[in-house]
Copies of this chain bind each other. A is one copy, B any other.
Amino acid sequence: MSDHLVAGLEPPYYTVVFTSHLVENADGYGETAKRMAELVKQVPGFLGYESARTPGGLGITVGYFRDEEAIAAWRANLEHQGAQRHGRAEWYRRYSVHIGKVERSYDFERE
């Protein structure tokens, strides 16, 4: 889980919204998720990510990418592809992915 809030990005950029429900015994999921969170940082054009999971419920991860090329590079990563296959075979009950081009964003920070 990331406790870091991604802010202050300059449009245009892309959000990849990944929402999921896990199966009840998703053994090994946490380790692989942690590894992917490290691996994605090596992708040129990766800008950050955020992740929250309500205990026992829905998980939402948002990845931020500079352009389509960065998203394609992450999709093409072989270790990532292996983790995705494993996820479909063992860990995920459902998931959805929504890839959006961001033209507008804003931030608030308490003084």
A30 within 8 A of partner (CB): no
What's the number of copies of this chain in the assembled complex? 2
Contacts A50-B60, A60-B52; A110 near B93 (Cβ below 8 A): yes
Mask, A1-41, CB within 8 Å of B = 1, is 11111110100001101011101000000000000000000
Summarize A's interface: helix, strand, loop or mixed.
Answer: strand
Q: Which single residue of chain B is at the shortest CB-CB distance from A89?
A: B110
Bound: A55/B52 CA distance, A? 9
Q: Check B100–A15 contact: CB distance below 8 A.
A: yes
Contacts A53-B52, A53-B54; A6 near B96 (Cβ below 8 A): yes
Please, which residues of chain B bring their CB within 8 A of the CB of A5?
A: 19-21, 58, 94-96
Please, which residues of chain B bring their CB within 8 A of the CB of A104?
A: 99
Enumerate chain A interface residues (CB-CB to B < 8 A).
1-7, 9, 14-15, 17, 19-21, 23, 50-55, 57-60, 62, 64, 88, 92-110
